[in-house]
Amino acid sequence: MQLEVINDIPLNVNLKEFIELKKIRRVDEIEVKKILETGVALAKPKALITFINVKKIDGIKVYVEGEHVFESKILSDRLKVGQPIAVYVITIGDNVERKASELAKESVVKAFVLESVGDYLLSKAREHVKGIVESRLGGKISSFAPGTGRGDLFDIKQQEVIFRMMEPWKHIGVYLTENFLMIPRKSSSGVFAVSEEEYVACMYCPRKCENRRKPFIGVYGEIKCSQT
């Protein structure tokens, strides 16, 4: 299995987009701009990816190259045997979150804005990596991330499979806690794959959430037989 580190990740930020996306209200725009610039200066975006093939699907078990097995209803439903997928871990490092903690002593509002900047920058880094994967896999890709939505379609415990497979702490300094959370916090992991039907976890997640990217269409309930 070949691992690839991507260091050169541009963060193409836009102040208006950030304010709208993160619903930043009642903070002076000049102040927000300064905080956004601080975040960009502090962020150290990096990604680790590997392209592997799906070997076998049995029930909710998805066997991939390198003897690794994901257990996930959504992956077993949406992937096909022989299909190439990209497993990824992306981070912007811990500088932004550390600065936000410092800033909290001075202003909780500014700290909140910087935290939101961190999320925004991570989404920008992710967008860039997704574009790279899309051009290599040659199709519209969906992202499947452990623990997203209600967590029942791809359990957060499946982070262990990704971390065992790629050992991201060695390559880009991302660690997994006992509770399957990533350190630095502004990190993201999962599987990118071409999927006939677009999958966005929000579609099956009933939570009231300001980060929602697609409307809720109902609880995912497709029943699938095993296939090899």
- Residue closer to ligand SF4 by CB (options 106, 197) is 197
Asked whether position 56 contacts ligand SF4 by CB under 6 A, the answer is: no
Q: Which is nearer to ligand SF4, 21 or 137 (CB)?
A: 21
Total residues binding ligand SF4 (CB under 6 A): 9
Of 148 and 195, CB closest to ligand SF4? 148
Cβ distance 86 to 138 under 8 Å?
no
Least spacing, CB of residue 144 vs ligand SF4, in Å:
12
Ramachandran category for residue 67: left, alpha or beta (phi over 0 → left; psi -120 to 50 → alpha): left
- Tell which positions 123-182 bind ligand SF4, by CB under 6 A: 148-149
Nearest distance from C-beta of residue 214 to ligand SF4, angstroms: 8
Could you tell me the smallest distance in angstroms from the CB atom of residue 150 to ligand SF4?
8
The residue (of 5 and 217) whose beta carbon lies closer to ligand SF4 is: 217
Taking CB under 6 A as the criterion, which residues in 184-213 touch ligand SF4?
A: 201-202, 205, 207, 209, 211-212
In the complex, the smallest distance separating the C-beta of residue 200 from ligand SF4, rounded to whole angstroms, is 7
Q: In angstroms, give the least distance from the CB of 216 to ligand SF4.
A: 7
| Residues forming the site for ligand SF4 (CB under 6 A) | 148-149, 201-202, 205, 207, 209, 211-212
